[in-house]
Structure 1
Amino acid sequence: MPETKGPEDFIAAATGLFAAKGYYGASIAMIAAELDLTKQALLHHFGSKDALYERVLTGVADRMMLLLMEVQEDAETPEKRLEAFFISYLEQALAGASDSRLMLRELLDDRQQDRAAERWFLRPVLQELVAMVQDAPAWHAAPPEQALAAVCDLLGAISYFAMAQPVLPRLPGQAGAVDAFRVQIMKRVRDLCSHGPQS
């Protein structure tokens, strides 16, 4: 008897395809085919492509918030919390880049431009990261837009680096690239916390 697939299987398949092809490139038909379902069966569970995409993005946001909560419990200073978050985010992105790809696509994609900002899935994650940056003494007087720019810069760099992994073996000096990038991210976070928005 064939194994019955459930909503979590649907979300996993959709996550992989949306990450690889983007919202516009991944169709309901593709996702259904990956699951060996009909389009109608998939739509029966989620109602629309938008609803399925929102479930996928909610999962990304939930995983990022969990990571943020973990580093806040384990690290004592703003610098250590931010360093722990960005290094953990890098490790997760290198292990499987779907979440970081989706986050980068969502930052770049204007598909949601008419949607209320309050409903944007990344909003609570970015707000929490901005608050963590502003906790650093060098950032106390800085406006939130500068902290947001710094956060997006780091998230973008990590996401882009993780997405480039399939290409790096073709480039000279790639053997130590991951370790070098890890050190670079830690240095950037320390500089960010120590020197504030001018760093």
Structure 2
Amino acid sequence: MTDPAPQSRIRKRNTQAILAAALDVFSAQGFRGATLDQIAAAADLSKPNLLYYFPSKEAVYLALLGSLLEDWLQPLRAIDPEGDPIEEMLSYIRAKLRMSRSHARESRLFAGEVLGGADHIRSVLEGPLRDLVDEKAALIRVWMEAGRLAPSDPHHLIFSIWALTQHYADFAPQVQAVLGPGRDPVAEGQCFTETLFRRMLTP
């Protein structure tokens, strides 16, 4: 009997190579400007080989966005209902800032999709994303009503965390240009956001 493991490893390796190449190409060219030929070349695969794994440019793009969104949402999922509310929220903010450093291209690609109307991921935004945000907003509201967090609108609190933390990825050239050389925007941003949100969240 043929061992399927080598084929599975090859599939996984090639799929990862395609998605890594697609991130480079889509980040530089956008969805409209990117081509399958560019992605295949960046992945060091032939175009027919790429099409064996993904039937179209849109399929590659959707798989990439799905993977990025899963990574992006993981810190939100990790907010623990049994933890200390302020520390759980600050931990989420720290994780989002770390991702602004480690996943800057991914953040900009996602932002570009949303700014373009989110046509490719609208069902995700209106389905799983909204469900998760509603779930965490409900938890935050419970903490607020128990006097464990300062009162505010939980949904807009989450939006403000997204806006501030992702700014360091989506507008990195602007931030670095304003701060000047030798400054670390994310490290400084962590100090600032820690102070800001601790004050905002403390009852």
TM-score normalized by the length of structure 2: 0.71
Q: CA RMSD in A?
A: 3.4
- Choose from 92, 112, 117 the match for 1:85: 92
8 Å contact from structure 1 (residues 58, 121) kept in 2: no
8 Å contact from structure 2 (residues 168, 185) kept in 1: no
The answer to whether the aligner puts 1:57 opposite 2:65 as a matched pair is yes
Which stretch of the first structure deviates more once superposed, 52-61 or 162-171? 162-171
CA displacement at 1:51 relative to structure 2 = 1.7
- Choose from 102, 114, 118 the match for 2:109: 102
The answer to whether the aligner puts 1:28 opposite 2:68 as a matched pair is no
1:80-132 CA deviation, whole Å, 9 max, x = no partner? 11211121121122134133223322332214179545776644554455345
1:45-82 CA deviation, whole Å, 9 max, x = no partner? 11122221121122122223433344538x82222112
8 Å contact from structure 2 (residues 22, 64) kept in 1: yes
SS, match of residue 80 in structure 2: helix
Cα distance, 1:147–1:166 mapped onto 2, change above 3 Å: same
The answer to whether the aligner puts 1:178 opposite 2:186 as a matched pair is yes
1:137-178 CA deviation, whole Å, 9 max, x = no partner? 167986xxx433332232132222124444555445552543
Bigger Rg over Cα: 2
Cα distance, 1:71–1:104 mapped onto 2, change above 3 Å: same
Q: Which blocks of at least 5 consecutive residues in structure 2 are unaligned? A: 1-9
1:15-40 CA deviation, whole Å, 9 max, x = no partner? 23333443223332221121133333
SS, match of residue 186 in structure 1: helix
Looking at structure 1, the residues matched to 123 and 18 of structure 2 have their Cα atoms a distance apart, in angstroms, of 27
Partner of 2:166: 159
Looking at structure 1, the residues matched to 177 and 121 of structure 2 have their Cα atoms a distance apart, in angstroms, of 41
Q: State the one-letter code of the partner of 1:180.
A: E
SS, match of residue 94 in structure 2: helix
The answer to whether the aligner puts 1:9 opposite 2:17 as a matched pair is yes
Cα distance, 1:113–1:52 mapped onto 2, change above 3 Å: closer
Q: State the one-letter code of the partner of 1:61.
A: L
Q: How many percent identity over aligned positions?
A: 22
Which stretch of the first structure deviates more once superposed, 83-92 or 174-183? 174-183
Q: Which blocks of at least 5 consecutive residues in structure 1 are unaligned? A: none
Looking at structure 2, the residues matched to 118 and 29 of structure 1 have their Cα atoms a distance apart, in angstroms, of 29
Which stretch of the first structure deviates more once superposed, 156-165 or 115-124? 115-124
Looking at structure 2, the residues matched to 124 and 133 of structure 1 have their Cα atoms a distance apart, in angstroms, of 14
